[in-house]
Structure 1
Amino acid sequence: MTDLLNASATSQERTQKDIDSETLAIKRVLSGPTAKIVYFVGIICSLFHIWINTFGIMPEIQRNAVHYSLLLFLGFLQYPLLKRKSDKSIGIDYVLAILAFAVGLYLVFFEDALHARNEVPILPDLIAAGLAIVLILEITRRTTGLLIPALSVFFLSYSLFLGKYFNGLWHFPGVTIERLLYRMYFAPDGLFGTIATISSTFVFLFVLFAAFLIKSGAGEFIINLAMALMGRLTGGPAKMAVFASGIMGSISGSAVANTVGTGSITIPMMKRIGFKPKFAGGVEAAASTGGQLMPPIMGAGAFIMSQWTQIPYLTIVGVAFIPAFMYFISVAFFIHLRAKRRGIEPLTRDEIPKVREVLKQGWNYFIPIIVLIGLLMLRYTPTFAACGGIASIVVASWLNKHTRMGLKDILDALSLGSQNMVTTGIILLCSGIVVGVVLMVGMGIKFSMLIQDISGGSLMLTIALVALASLILGMGLPVTASYIVLAVLAAPAMTMLGTSTIAAHMLIFWYSQDANVTPPVCLAAYSAAGIAGSKPLPTGLESWKLAKGLYIIPLLFCYTPILFEGPLWQVIETAVLGLGGLYCFAVFFEGYNQRMLNWPARFLYLACAAAMLWPDMRLHAVGAAVFLTGSALELTVFRPVQPAVAIQKE
């Protein structure tokens, strides 16, 4: 047990270094001069973003261009052209890194000259714009695969010439190549537009905040605290995974990184007390996926949503708390029932660290979180709050002799934050191409009209189409890119049908997470399978079952006031009865409540789940009454049936 807990910090640091924020792309093993260059450029990159988001003054598009230059420079050195023989392509990668750095800075130095010519681009402008697009497509291919670049190329082609071959609603006469390059490079709705702004401000600083927390040892503290609080409960290590993954996922913003980081500790514990490997992997994948739904950070999604909808960031994280809490509790329901059904005992007292000792060693880690949340509640901007949080991590580390950060630790965290940001930043920058074309050709309105035609004006059918689209997109797109594409295409259709803006975007954001846990492509589940030693597909199916709240809870956004769009008592009533419905749903799947259940009893609980989740208070009352009556009968008339043989610890 001690070895496992002591290994947590190492696993977290390894995760941050070796696993991308939203993909499983393999990085080059850096050594020699290249490692030093990446290290120091990473420090410069972080310092630039801190400066420009605090005291620095620079036009938005120029700031985003520098952001592009620094991330792509790091990206081409980290992700080789030749995956298996990375040393053979190092020369080409250096050339592309320097070229990417130059084309980004070209805009900084020559934008004023373009304005002096009344926005008439000359040949060097067009060459720089073309190279900027080609380079972002290539580095995106290296980091995330072919789908995002292919999607971007399709949208670019549609705007140039493909659109004229479509009939009716989708016909578009096309624009000139000069016009397209100008819009993608110099205009505020292209490569360096809104999405790049989100990347260079909110997202970068919170990724840096996470890097400082991890480097200061917060990962180990979170694991230890979760064990101390949850270890004595039935299925304690699995519930610990839910607790730890919720906190770590909110900080890291990555389901895959969270799975590998916390899973390397929690999955062996779950297996040791008697959970099957595929279930242990499924628990970690489902819990880690929920990390991106948990305030106050919520990965990159909350920042994108706030910028897109102009809804204050604090409002978004405020209304997101209850649904996120419900999701994690729903995963814990499955764990509790499975543990009871299999007769799995809690950990022994000797195996569990004492809460007092854990808090004594890491109490100072609460300070940065309190500072961050406090600044947000005082209505400071998220960028200011993130910078304040980063500073407070360093100061707080000095209050405990076990966690003090020296100059080397601070420099390491600065470099680590930039390197962790590369993949996420590249995804967002490349997504700017898709968003720019969609806005330029009016595709969002057309897509909304198409959805309305197919759904016949039915909100439920529209939601089903959005869920299907998110699953298909998620097979090849990271969750951030999937949310951006769906938000720009499908959110208008939902708002036209009467859904509030925040409910529409929150539903799309939740559904964009489903590819992490839904076969056949579920990166978080497959990552967990590698740690658990289980087969990927069965592990994916387990995670898909455990994450049912990911599909059910978003329906409440559109049909109930759970996002604080009604009286407080209705919000509370919806949340409480919703939890009851999620519990009944877990009972149906596990076939166990107080005793093993036959199929008629299981379907009765399924009916209770539907009644308590349906937006009708009369059905809520009926469902709750049947559920309580059934549970009481199990305890009295039918004696609880214990498992025949308790699972022995390995």
Structure 2
Amino acid sequence: MSQVENKKTQEDLSGEVITVQRELSNTLEKVVYFVGIITSLFHLWVNTVGIMPEIQRNALHYSFLLFLGYLLYPMSKKHPEKTLKIDIILAVLSFLVGVYLVLFENALHARNEVPILPDLIAAAIAIVLLIEITRRTSGLVIPILAAFFLGYALYFGKYFSGLWNFPGVNIQRLLYRMYFAPDGIFGTIATISSTFVFLFVLFGAFLIKSGAGDFIIKLAVAIMGRSIGGPAKMAVFASGLMGSVSGSAVANTVGTGSITIPMMKKTGFSPKFAAAVEAAASTGGQLMPPIMGAGAFIMSQWTQIPYLKIVAVSFIPAIMYFLTVAFFVHLRAKKIGLKPLPKEEIPKISEVLKEGWQFFIPIIVLMGFLMYGYTPTYSACAGIAAIVVSSWFNKKTRMGIKDILDGLALGAKNMVTTGIILLCSGIVIGIVLLVGMGIKFSMLIQSLSGGSVLLTIIFIALASLILGMGLPVTASYIVLAVLAAPALTMLGVSLLAAHMVIFWYSQDANVTPPVCLAAYSAAGIAGSKPLETGFEAWKLAKGLYIIPLLFVYTPLLFEGPIINVIETVISATLGLYAFVVFFEGYQLRQLNIIERIIFGVVAYLLLFPHRFLTIIGFAGFIALILLQKFTIKRAENAG
């Protein structure tokens, strides 16, 4: 990760990308703080007792986020102070074009949906401003993608032949669809952003502000510190818990990694391995319920699968992923002969729980409301209230008025990058729906795969990797869900399994070179080489590629008898362990090449969805372990 040398800039790690913010003057800082509070209060009001048409709520969501975005993210990263006046003008203009829709939507309906010139001007300005702020917050790829799709629909689609030919639409119709219609920038994706995503980001901000982050780290040390490779296992454990709150791999990496990576290095792990463990574990944080990043809310909204069901079926696969990373840590620690942490550095679990037991209350409230049938939006609001109330149970964590206001401001600020990415994704999704590109792309994948489910999944994995080189995780999932999910469902894969496969594969860009933000962020902390760290993280995150196959070929997502689910979990977990042994070349001792190959075969048999092969694999696994113990004992006796 490159180091920003300019003292007037800082890294924003609240979203899914690393961007440079300007250092605000006291006046502007107060403006951002105040507007952030108003933004969060507006979202709390409109998602609980407030009544407002969906498109108008989304337009104000746009206004608030872009206003904050233009103040926080300068036009020029090298000279942010030179464009400040322009950015203030753009911030105000962004706010006004959102408010314009609220004020004049009814007039448009009164004209039977016929836009007039001011409507079209406001629409054009809204699109241009959104694309520009997206460039500032997430780089060039998403704006270029949005511009390409707009150009395709307007002009050059007619120059394509065959399946991809599109005659084009006029500029008036396009502006109307993007600004006023429910499938534009204020449509479905904006709804998800202004409801579920915003409130869960706010929930995470309140948890962090209340001191939950420190509690999670201490709890991880207390639980994992006594085991071999404890600091690395602690990183896996802490990242799973923190990821459940933050929903961001990069924020996870920096937040927990600043503590765990130095501890891993101190106990004997190489900087490269320490950084890779943190990156791989933090990537899994977005797979861990109850929050799981923005993609889970989008999945629920599009598929109409209850969010609670998505959360419920995601627990076991997420735990299996973290176990895979922990297996690598355990075997590497034994391989290089590491010892547990000194006792004096490990806090007692009872003392940690005594100080921070109240942090479990908001999670219990959140899950309780979800299980009782309340919407994720209402549940998140209840969880936020529970954070404030539960903080009063401990003098050290008690939140006063200032802390609550800080939490409101932090939540809005943390939402800027993710919210803008989602809004700009609305352009892409709107054009895809307008030109029917989703069906065309699915037909192309089916043609290339020859109707093979496995080949289709491989193509989707490759597409996610390519998209992930330039798109944040959420945007990658959105694009693939629209373009590729129909290809899987047409081949008989269940709707839940198809979207879960895409959701998991959309995470791989965090740890897969050449562009892997989580790994590069960890490398910056560890002082290791970024690309080498990326490859090491890619190795440790192998569960990210294997487990989604189980969604399709096994009943792991509880799409079958419970006994078959249990069998799958046991055999697949053993298979993942055997796979890690094969990669590390170590189990109870160093393995020779033949033993490694046999472990690889056993891993395949345990993971293959066939009961007879699973039994053979299980027998082979036991035999290998017993053989190793026998040879070790014989060597000790001979010595």
Q: What corresponds to 1:418 in structure 2?
A: 412
Q: Deviations over 1:200-257 (max 9, x none)?
A: 0000000000000000000000000000000001111100001100010111010000
SS in 2 for 1:27: strand
Task: Find the aligned partners of 2:612 and 2:397 in 1 and give their Cα distance.
Answer: 54
Following TM superposition, the consecutive aligned residue runs of length 4 or more in structure 1 with deviations greater than 2 angstroms are 637-642
Q: What corresponds to 2:423 in structure 1?
A: 429
Q: Which amino acid aligns with 2:399?
A: M
Q: Is the 8 A contact 1:457 1:497 kept in 2?
A: yes
Q: Is the 8 A contact 1:594 1:641 kept in 2?
A: no
1:344 to 333, 338, 345: 338
Q: What corresponds to 1:193 in structure 2?
A: 187
Give the drift of 1:88. 1.0
Q: What corresponds to 1:528 in structure 2?
A: 522
SS in 2 for 1:622: helix
Give the drift of 1:115. 0.3
Q: Is the 8 A contact 1:507 1:555 kept in 2?
A: yes
Q: Deviations over 1:266-322 (max 9, x none)?
A: 000000010000000000000000000001110111101000101000011111111
Q: What corresponds to 2:204 in structure 1?
A: 210
Task: Find the aligned partners of 1:216 and 1:32 in 2 and give their Cα distance.
Answer: 25
Task: Find the aligned partners of 2:357 and 2:315 in 1 and give their Cα distance.
Answer: 24
Q: What corresponds to 2:482 in structure 1?
A: 488
1:305 to 286, 295, 299: 299
Question: Does residue 364 in structure 1 map to residue 364 in structure 2?
Answer: no
Q: Which amino acid aligns with 1:121?
A: P
Q: Which amino acid aligns with 1:405?
A: M
Question: Map of 1:86-101 to 2, 5 A cutoff?
Answer: 86-101=80-95
1:42 to 36, 57, 62: 36
Question: Does residue 82 in structure 1 map to residue 76 in structure 2?
Answer: yes
Q: Which amino acid aligns with 2:141?
A: L
Give the drift of 1:641. 8.1
Q: Deviations over 1:327-371 (max 9, x none)?
A: 000000000000011100001111101111111111110110110
Residues 593 and 142 of structure 1, relative CA distance in 2, 3 Å threshold: same
Question: Map of 1:181-580 to 2, 5 A cutoff?
Answer: 181-580=175-574
Task: Find the aligned partners of 1:497 and 1:357 in 2 and give their Cα distance.
Answer: 54
Task: Find the aligned partners of 1:173 and 1:393 in 2 and give their Cα distance.
Answer: 54
Question: Map of 1:585-600 to 2, 5 A cutoff?
Answer: 585-600=579-594
SS in 1 for 2:340: coil
Give the drift of 1:30. 1.7
* Structure 1 residues without counterparts, runs of 5 or longer: 1-15, 643-650
Task: Find the aligned partners of 1:188 and 1:162 in 2 and give their Cα distance.
Answer: 25
Give the TM-score of the pair, scaled to structure 1: 0.96
Give the drift of 1:17. 8.1
Give the drift of 1:28. 1.0
Task: Find the aligned partners of 1:296 and 1:567 in 2 and give their Cα distance.
Answer: 24
Give the drift of 1:131. 0.4
Question: Does residue 68 in structure 1 map to residue 77 in structure 2?
Answer: no
Q: Is the 8 A contact 1:594 1:640 kept in 2?
A: no
1:602 to 585, 596, 602: 596
Q: Is the 8 A contact 2:308 2:370 kept in 1?
A: yes
Q: Is the 8 A contact 2:328 2:584 kept in 1?
A: yes
2:158 to 157, 164, 174: 164
Q: Is the 8 A contact 1:306 1:313 kept in 2?
A: yes
Task: Find the aligned partners of 1:622 and 1:434 in 2 and give their Cα distance.
Answer: 49
Give the drift of 1:20. 3.5
Q: Is the 8 A contact 1:26 1:79 kept in 2?
A: yes
Q: Which amino acid aligns with 2:427?
A: I
Task: Find the aligned partners of 1:515 and 1:319 in 2 and give their Cα distance.
Answer: 23
Q: What corresponds to 2:172 in structure 1?
A: 178
Task: Find the aligned partners of 1:194 and 1:382 in 2 and give their Cα distance.
Answer: 16
2:126 to 126, 132, 153: 132
Task: Find the aligned partners of 2:40 and 2:631 in 1 and give their Cα distance.
Answer: 65
SS in 1 for 2:631: coil
Q: Which amino acid aligns with 2:99?
A: L
Task: Find the aligned partners of 2:24 and 2:544 in 1 and give their Cα distance.
Answer: 38
SS in 1 for 2:286: helix
Task: Find the aligned partners of 2:207 and 2:22 in 1 and give their Cα distance.
Answer: 25
Q: Is the 8 A contact 2:230 2:341 kept in 1?
A: yes
Q: What corresponds to 2:623 in structure 1?
A: 629
Q: What corresponds to 1:3 in structure 2?
A: none
Question: Does residue 103 in structure 1 map to residue 97 in structure 2?
Answer: yes
Q: Is the 8 A contact 1:290 1:324 kept in 2?
A: yes
Question: Does residue 29 in structure 1 map to residue 29 in structure 2?
Answer: no
Task: Find the aligned partners of 1:29 and 1:284 in 2 and give their Cα distance.
Answer: 29
The alignment's C-alpha RMSD in Å is 1.0
Question: Does residue 581 in structure 1 map to residue 589 in structure 2?
Answer: no
Residues 443 and 37 of structure 1, relative CA distance in 2, 3 Å threshold: same
1:154 to 148, 155, 165: 148
Give the drift of 1:556. 0.3
Give the drift of 1:570. 0.5
Q: Which amino acid aligns with 2:512?
A: T
Give the drift of 1:32. 1.6
Q: Deviations over 1:13-39 (max 9, x none)?
A: xxx983131101011112221101000
Q: Which amino acid aligns with 2:587?
A: N
Q: Is the 8 A contact 2:12 2:18 kept in 1?
A: no
Task: Find the aligned partners of 2:81 and 2:632 in 1 and give their Cα distance.
Answer: 68
Q: Is the 8 A contact 2:11 2:18 kept in 1?
A: no
Q: Is the 8 A contact 2:158 2:165 kept in 1?
A: yes
Q: Deviations over 1:514-553 (max 9, x none)?
A: 0000011000000000111111011111100000000000
Q: Is the 8 A contact 1:212 1:393 kept in 2?
A: yes
Task: Find the aligned partners of 1:458 and 1:607 in 2 and give their Cα distance.
Answer: 23
Residue-pair matches, total: 627
Give the drift of 1:639. 3.6
SS in 1 for 2:21: coil
SS in 2 for 1:636: helix
Q: Which amino acid aligns with 1:200?
A: S
Q: Is the 8 A contact 2:11 2:19 kept in 1?
A: no
Q: Is the 8 A contact 2:272 2:533 kept in 1?
A: yes
Give the TM-score of the pair, scaled to structure 2: 0.97
SS in 1 for 2:19: coil
Q: Is the 8 A contact 2:599 2:621 kept in 1?
A: yes
Q: Higher mean Cα deviation, 570-579 or 632-641?
A: 632-641
Identity %: 72
